[in-house]
Amino acid sequence: MTILSHKLIHSLSARYYKAYKLRAELVDVNGEVIAGGAGRSRGERLEALAFSQTNAFSLQEAVRWGEPFVFYPSRGIISWVAALVDQRRVHGGLLGGRVLASGSNRDEIASGLIEQGLEPGPAGTIAEQLPEWPAARIKQAALFLQESFYRESGWKPVLLEENRVKAMQQRHISEAIEEHKKTGQSGYSMDRERILLSLIRAGDRNGARKVLNEMLGAMYMLSPKLAVLRARAIELMGYLTRAAVEDNPILEPLIERNHQWMRKLIVAPDFETLSHVLMQALEDFMHGIYARGFNCYHPHVGKILDYVALHYNEQLTLDQIASKIGISVSRVAHLVKQHTGKTVWQHLMRVRIAKARQLLESTDDQCSQIALATGFCDQSYFTKHFRRLTGATPARYRSSFSGPVPASKTAS
């Protein structure tokens, strides 16, 4: 934990206290408080010790869900923890403090603390002094703590982002399974495959993800056996690839990429992994199709769009593209417009915005960082074109993907 700056934690704790009148505490991977506890009373130290095991479990759950985890360290008391992860390494967590659920009985809370090893005096004091909070404020404080830390530290929580996507997908699949149980359906129609392909063609990533999750739920209802699920997943990828190549032969390189994903599907050890691999394959598949477009048959056009897709984050010029492809600048502009109906600049903007949407959905990077990462010279220029192509500002687009904090679980 020495890589965490004391100045950073102190600054973050001060801002958090100013906003919510609670003190954030740094815990290690075992749930033990190691900072932020200066000046605590003996009762508070006993309280921290009593809750360390609960803190450790809750930290594991925060990592698992990829989001702050809300939990009950004792009867009627609510706390939350944000995992501190850099890349894929867990370094500990930040406890957001403790509050009471609305309408709590403070005598019962004191009794619960005594049962966990606190002396009656400190237990009564803690039960009396803790504020009562509604669920919405708890969620707000938990997200504030996590987002503030990653914004100030510059850490990249890759593991959290991956786990959050997995958890979200599993929730969507579970909802689809429940819906199929209610309606009595035991599979999905071939229309769903065609709808999925149409959404991919349109570049509608969110719509495609939703339909794929519904299909996965239907596949599970039809047969939960892993071998059958694996065969159906491979069959679905084969259908999408075949339809894409039939519609546009220049997309033939997708066949090799499809083989790579199929190998991963074959060795997936369970349904959760299988679902995640299929979603990753879909993202890769959509990027390959969206970058090229469905209407470009000319080999030079394919090379041009490939180059744009690979170098979208650079300050590309027609001269640079023409030099790489080996044709004149005017020929580059004419071929792309003739075969796709769009200019090179329009394709470049589409690829940049598609990548920006992906980063807004899957990372906590600031909009200014995403603007630079996707090739825009400044944030205002990025915002202008993002709004033009999506109908929303980057900030509003990201807010539409803020999922709920995982449901509280008792862990006492």
- Domain containing 95 — which CATH number? 3.30.450
| Selected residue with higher pLDDT from 75 and 88 | 88
264 and 343 inside one domain: no
How much is the pLDDT for 246? 66
**pLDDT band for position 18 (cuts 50, 70, 90):** very high
How much is the pLDDT for 253? 67
186 and 217 inside one domain: yes
Rg for the chain (alpha carbons), in Å? 26
Query: What single-letter DSSP state applies at residue 35?
Result: E
How much is the pLDDT for 38? 45
Average confidence score pLDDT of the chain: 79
The domain boundary, picked from 121, 139, 156, lies at 156
146 and 24 inside one domain: yes
**pLDDT band for position 295 (cuts 50, 70, 90):** very low
| Unique residue bearing structure tokens 């966990």 | 116
**pLDDT band for position 34 (cuts 50, 70, 90):** confident
40 and 150 inside one domain: yes
Classify residue 406: in a domain, yes or no. no
Enter the tokens of residue 132.
């009562």
Query: What single-letter DSSP state applies at residue 73?
Result: E
| Selected residue with higher pLDDT from 306 and 23 | 23
Residue 296 has pLDDT above 50, yes or no: no
Q: Among 63-72, 129-138, 173-182, which is the least confidently predicted range?
A: 173-182
User: How much of the chain exceeds pLDDT 70, in percent?
Assistant: 79
24 and 136 inside one domain: yes
The domain boundary, picked from 294, 312, 335, lies at 294
Enter the tokens of residue 367.
């909009």
Mean pLDDT of 30-37: 69
Residue 93 has pLDDT above 90, yes or no: yes
How much is the pLDDT for 17? 94
312 and 288 inside one domain: no
What distance in Å separates the CA atoms of residue 126 and residue 279, rounded to the nearest whole number? 47
Residue 36 has pLDDT above 50, yes or no: no
**pLDDT band for position 404 (cuts 50, 70, 90):** very low
Classify residue 325: in a domain, yes or no. yes
| Selected residue with higher pLDDT from 101 and 408 | 101
142 and 10 inside one domain: yes
304 and 256 inside one domain: no
Classify residue 307: in a domain, yes or no. yes
Residue 188 has pLDDT above 90, yes or no: no
**pLDDT band for position 180 (cuts 50, 70, 90):** low
Tell me what percent of the chain is helix, strand and coil, each rounded to the nearest 5. 65, 10, 25
How much is the pLDDT for 355? 85
User: How much of the chain exceeds pLDDT 90, in percent?
Assistant: 20
47 and 138 inside one domain: yes
What distance in Å separates the CA atoms of residue 27 and residue 375, rounded to the nearest whole number? 38
Residue 46, classed as helix, strand or coil, is helix
The domain boundary, picked from 294, 311, 346, lies at 294
What distance in Å separates the CA atoms of residue 266 and residue 52, rounded to the nearest whole number? 41
Mean pLDDT of 286-292: 63
Classify residue 411: in a domain, yes or no. no
Mean pLDDT of 374-400: 86
Classify residue 11: in a domain, yes or no. yes
140 and 11 inside one domain: yes
How much is the pLDDT for 24? 92
Residue 174 has pLDDT above 90, yes or no: no
58 and 131 inside one domain: yes
Query: Which residue segment(s) compose the domain that 239 sits in?
Result: 157-294
What are the CA-CA distances from residue 52 to residues 27, 58, 333 (Å)?
A: 9, 10, 64
Residue 409, classed as helix, strand or coil, is strand
Classify residue 412: in a domain, yes or no. no
What distance in Å separates the CA atoms of residue 25 and residue 34, rounded to the nearest whole number? 8
Classify residue 271: in a domain, yes or no. yes
Residue 351 has pLDDT above 80, yes or no: yes
| Structural domains in the chain (count) | 3
Instruction: Give CA torsion, residues 366, 382, 312, 357, to 10 deg.
Output: 60
Residue 37 has pLDDT above 70, yes or no: no
Mean pLDDT of 265-272: 88
What distance in Å separates the CA atoms of residue 208 and residue 315, rounded to the nearest whole number? 31
| Selected residue with higher pLDDT from 260 and 147 | 147
Classify residue 405: in a domain, yes or no. no
178 and 262 inside one domain: yes
Alpha helices, DSSP H, located in 100-204 = 106-115, 120-129, 135-153, 158-183, 190-202
Is residue 73 packed enough to be buried (19+ CB in 10 Å), middle (13-18) or exposed (0-12)?
buried
Residue 328, classed as helix, strand or coil, is coil
CATH of the domain at 381: 1.10.10.60
Count of other CB atoms within 10 angstroms of residue 398 = 19
How much is the pLDDT for 187? 56
